[in-house]
Structure 1
Amino acid sequence: MNPAWRAGGGGRAVIRWWHGFAMDLTVIVGPMKGGKSLEMISLLSPLQHAGIPHRIYQSARHGRDTLVTSRSGGSLQTVKVHSLAGAATGDVEWIGVDEIHMFTVDDIAELGVAVRAGIKVVVAGIDLDHRGQLFAPVRALFELAPEKVIYRRAVCDVCRSLDATHTQVLEHGKPFIRELAPSTALPDDGTYTYEARCRRCVVLP
């Protein structure tokens, strides 16, 4: 079967097909404290109970723990990796990736291979960097034309509004506004602290 879009009737979802495989890529993005992990847990935790072959990855740069953990409760066990090379190999039907912004554009290409092989892929991460621009891996994800994009919002840590869209990076309690190479993902190892902020309260370089 050639690559095509196939739409079901009666309001059913549109499904993409690639050489006979239904493609399924779900992207969950938003600022810190926006409930991305909870969304991922709700989508992937049933796989453990059903015994469906799956793997859930986290970047080795994520130094806090080896779990996808929600502030509202619940967790998923993950495998720490430096890259997603070979993620589509082996007996696996689902792949989950947490903190996707900490990976590279080449890693996103590996996920594209997985999706075209018929593996269902769910990823979650921060979409905007400290400059308020899309992380390069997130931009590459959107170029894969995901079937579903879930945008999460958070409570602004400054004004308490419900529409925080940015993650404010703080260094010694002050906004981090130094110039870095484009799309640099800062480590989540305690070096910096982070706040969810709305467009009105965020401080950009």
Structure 2
Amino acid sequence: MFSDNRLRIRSELGGSIEVVCGSMFSGKTEELLRRLKRAQIAKLQVEIFKPKTDTRYDETAVVSHDLNSVQSTPVDHSSAILLYGSNAQVVGIDEAQFFDDELPDVCVKLANRGIRVIIAGLDMDFEGRPFGPIPALMAIADDVTKVHAVCMKCGNSALFSYRLVENKNQVMLGEKESYEPRCRVCFNLD
């Protein structure tokens, strides 16, 4: 009986965690924006967040490489999402790899409140290593969608973000002048 009651409560709350991940130029932000737009069409209260450090296209908007955009709330620390997103039914989080390690706990708290949480971010850094809180988010997610770009060397499916410029820092904001998507073979050739 207790188990059935918990299941009923969970389905009534409807909270979940969805992760969209992949390399640079794979369409992660486009997919995030598509899901958020569908939630808005359903007349759900939507809030979107991004790290304050991500200023490539805009200080406050989440902008895809195709220049589709939506206004967001830039935050310094993932715990701020709990405050700003308290009235939302759907919370979107872009560039999640740049957030602190508390992001998975924040997402669990939101989902346990009945909020649908949709996260987009790079799963690997420029060296092909797991990046930031994304691996932990993938482990706790209800659903993980891994999207791929097109390898700029051979045209195959790309899952790596190859850095074109000399810089050993894990975090380096950049676009096509600094990165290109590559398949496993082409990534490991250079």
**Is the pair's TM-score, using the shorter chain for normalization, greater than 0.5?**
yes
Please name the residue that 2:61 is paired with.
67
| Contact kept in structure 2, 1:169 and 1:193, CA below 8 Å | yes
Given the alignment of the two structures, is residue 140 of structure 1 paired with residue 155 of structure 2, yes or no? Answer: no
Displacement of 1:24 after TM fit? 1.0
Displacement of 1:77 after TM fit? 1.5
Give the whole-Å Cα distance in 1 for the aligned partners of 2:21 and 2:5.
Answer: 26
Q: Higher helix proportion, which one?
A: 2
Give the whole-Å Cα distance in 2 for the aligned partners of 1:137 and 1:112.
Answer: 13
Give the whole-Å Cα distance in 2 for the aligned partners of 1:53 and 1:36.
Answer: 21
Displacement of 1:204 after TM fit? 8.6
Identity rate, percent = 26
Aligned residue pairs, count: 184
- Aligned residue type for 2:18: T
TM-score (norm 2): 0.83
| Contact kept in structure 1, 2:153 and 2:182, CA below 8 Å | yes
Q: 1:102 aligns with which of 92, 95, 98?
A: 98
TM-score (norm 1): 0.77
Unaligned runs of 5+ in 1: 7-14
RMSD: 2.9
Please name the residue that 1:165 is paired with.
159
Please name the residue that 1:80 is paired with.
74
Unaligned runs of 5+ in 2: none
Give the whole-Å Cα distance in 1 for the aligned partners of 2:91 and 2:144.
Answer: 16
CA 1:59–1:4 in 2, change beyond 3 Å: closer, same or farther?
farther
Structure 1 segments, 4+ long, off by >6 Å, are: none
Q: Which moved more, 1:27-36 or 1:192-201?
A: 192-201
Give the whole-Å Cα distance in 2 for the aligned partners of 1:73 and 1:86.
Answer: 26
